[in-house]
Structure 1
């Protein structure tokens, strides 16, 4: 009896462009030989974590830098090497990588760390998804850390999104407060907001001694090297010679963002495949840049209420129709009222619009700065878009209600 079966003609079985597209996924962790331009930063992270190899307390570390500068990549890569080296000496190091943009409450952080490091047959406890209070999750976490590890490393990506920094105090003081006695904890906090430590509560500032490290943006040459290291995601000869230099130059204009460069290259390959082309060319890269920016902006405002989108649309209209690129709240508010009337939205108060603008600033959708009016006259905020207004407008008009403005 034959095991062969006919292929479903609906699907494509031979990819003419990609040999291994996974190499261009943001979640892909490349081997050390594929990491470019971060030797000094890697050494600094390794220095902080080095004691863990011998089962000792590592230094806590805060890493700052713009998006796409390799902060998460280097943290994960060095941590995995620590885990591997420690195991050679019989030391059990485990780590939990947590995206605080998705899990930002104290209970969620503690539960996730516990679930990632727990070995129920060793610890004798389980960490359920729900049903326990925060205090109970902590009790089980301390049990797991002592029973299952010699050192636990906790990487908190986008640490500035934490709802409450109390978890930092409790983790950093766990040994001192005798919550754990057989193990130790190291914290790596990652943020693109260099002033994040100023926002910490006084209790955390006094208890969390740490090293700090700033990652600079990549330059165009480093971006070329990074993309060259991932070129084997494509079949040989598919990528024309001008593609990687162009992709790198476009990403270098945007603060040397390696994540964006990789996104553009992947989208260029997908566009070439979709259009039935045998090669990835310059035109695919330029089209991919626009798609990448639109995708990223869509991700940033996903789930934003229509009022927030209407306010962003007002700022976009002002930016398009003016030679300046930043505007005070009062001017944006007047434009927003016109937008709200056109799409039949109730107008919010100017104070509420100011609050929403601050929220969008926190989310890195816009940039807001306070500007003094002169002695004794107070200050006011000015706001500007961080993305091309054409891209912002295109994304916002996809909203069912704001879409009426396009007609």
Structure 2
């Protein structure tokens, strides 16, 4: 019943997304590592690190390099007798100011030394800030705060508070630095002048990996598998697929790991190109399912309507008017409440904010009389994957096998 050992994987953790490898396994990011090291260098002796904004598409190594460099800096500072703290917040999971402050305080706190408790709920935002400042001053000489996917924050007040903590006298003995990471190079345009003035940041852009770098990344982690298990065409094919997705190393490793899982589950002796092809489809579905995981039924219905239109009309973009007609048909078929078009539009725009959908404007006319049409929405994933994921939701099961267009 239980296998004595895994016939496919030897060190599977090398392919896990959250795994932080040694520096010799980080490929094609030497310049980026040096840039972040330069920003943090004052911190290793207890000085003030420079606030840093990092941009780049998904899977370009932003989080990986940042975690690696800050972990290394913390270790080096400790050897110099400097108490350095580091805290990581995923803003897709903690998208409000209060949740960010709570998570920072809980991660940085040592209640046995501070005597401070950080309850999950029950305090005002100001009270959480007050306890965070106490923790920083009591425990640390310097702290690095990493705010990943910062564009998902619902407000930017936390940036103001953290960046001005020393200047405003909130902390006395601790120097605080921020590393903010975003997939959107336009993120900074969303910040008001007060935040920009207090942040005074350094900016770095992480370019996409090319196919050769992707191959090198996977070759460098090939020992995740048992010797001789993967065929010669597996890694080049994984790299080719990921290169098509803007050089996404995360996707490359996802596909490679899933290909191994599929081979293992089918009792295959080797991982082949067919396992890679099947794993690519699975990786796409898993990623999209993760995006939709916490979305309510009323948010999924207009996304399904758009997917149905894309498949039926063989066009890429549709207006909210067109989507609403199909949305209304779907909700009637499921005996669901039908939202007003304005409220459905709000759901579509929330999906754009969460990078589930894309949105464009189309300017019509010329000169002084030109205007802008309503937004046009498009999928960021293949329509068949969108439909397959949403129709797996038990609320949408009655639509299985039925036409989605009235």
Mark yes or no: TM-score above 0.5: yes
Corresponding residue to 1:403 among 388, 397, 406 = 397
Report the CA distance between 1:47 and its aligned residue.
Answer: 1.0
Residue aligning to 2:364: 373
Residue aligning to 1:224: 215
- Larger CA deviation: 129-138 vs 397-406: 129-138
Aligned partners of 1:154, 1:294: CA distance in 2, in Å? 32
Q: Would you say the 8 A contact 1:372–1:380 is kept in 2?
A: no
Residue aligning to 2:37: 46
Report the CA distance between 1:89 and its aligned residue.
Answer: 1.6
Q: Would you say the 8 A contact 1:99–1:158 is kept in 2?
A: yes
Q: Would you say the 8 A contact 1:64–1:190 is kept in 2?
A: yes
The runs of 5 or more residues in structure 1 that have no matched partner are 1-8
Residue aligning to 2:161: 170
Aligned partners of 1:309, 1:182: CA distance in 2, in Å? 49
Give the count of matched residue pairs: 398
Report the CA distance between 1:125 and its aligned residue.
Answer: 2.6
Report the CA distance between 1:317 and its aligned residue.
Answer: 1.3
Residue aligning to 1:325: 316
The runs of 5 or more residues in structure 2 that have no matched partner are 402-406
1:102-141, aligned counterparts within 5 Å? 102-141=93-132
Corresponding residue to 2:184 among 168, 189, 193 = 193
Instruction: Confirm whether residue 213 of structure 1 aligns to residue 216 of structure 2.
Output: no
Aligned partners of 2:355, 2:75: CA distance in 1, in Å? 36
Q: Would you say the 8 A contact 2:152–2:353 is kept in 1?
A: no
Report the CA distance between 1:186 and its aligned residue.
Answer: 0.4
Q: Would you say the 8 A contact 1:247–1:285 is kept in 2?
A: yes
Corresponding residue to 2:63 among 72, 80, 85 = 72
Residue aligning to 1:55: 46
Report the CA distance between 1:48 and its aligned residue.
Answer: 0.9
Aligned partners of 2:173, 2:329: CA distance in 1, in Å? 63
**1:189-233 deviations in Å (ceiling 9; x for gaps):** 111121112222343122211011111111111110111111111
- Larger CA deviation: 69-78 vs 79-88: 79-88
2:310 counterpart SS class: helix
- Larger CA deviation: 100-109 vs 49-58: 100-109
Q: TM-score, normalised by structure 1?
A: 0.94
Q: Kindly tell me: are residues 111 and 249 of structure 1, through their superposed partners in 2, closer, same or farther at Cα, counting changes over 3 Å?
A: same
Q: What is the CA RMSD across the aligned residues, in angstroms?
A: 1.5
Residue aligning to 1:4: none
Instruction: Confirm whether residue 384 of structure 1 aligns to residue 340 of structure 2.
Output: no
Aligned partners of 2:327, 2:247: CA distance in 1, in Å? 33
Report the CA distance between 1:97 and its aligned residue.
Answer: 0.7
Q: TM-score, normalised by structure 2?
A: 0.94
Corresponding residue to 1:142 among 127, 133, 152 = 133
**1:89-134 deviations in Å (ceiling 9; x for gaps):** 2111110011111122222222222222223344343333334322
Aligned partners of 1:303, 1:126: CA distance in 2, in Å? 29
1:401 counterpart SS class: helix
**1:279-305 deviations in Å (ceiling 9; x for gaps):** 000000000000010000101111222
Aligned partners of 2:97, 2:299: CA distance in 1, in Å? 27
Aligned partners of 1:348, 1:121: CA distance in 2, in Å? 51
Residue aligning to 1:153: 144
Aligned partners of 2:82, 2:354: CA distance in 1, in Å? 40
Q: Kindly tell me: are residues 86 and 298 of structure 1, through their superposed partners in 2, closer, same or farther at Cα, counting changes over 3 Å?
A: same
Aligned partners of 2:348, 2:109: CA distance in 1, in Å? 42
Instruction: Confirm whether residue 34 of structure 1 aligns to residue 22 of structure 2.
Output: no
Report the CA distance between 1:315 and its aligned residue.
Answer: 0.9
2:362 counterpart SS class: strand
- Larger CA deviation: 298-307 vs 68-77: 298-307
Residue aligning to 2:8: 17
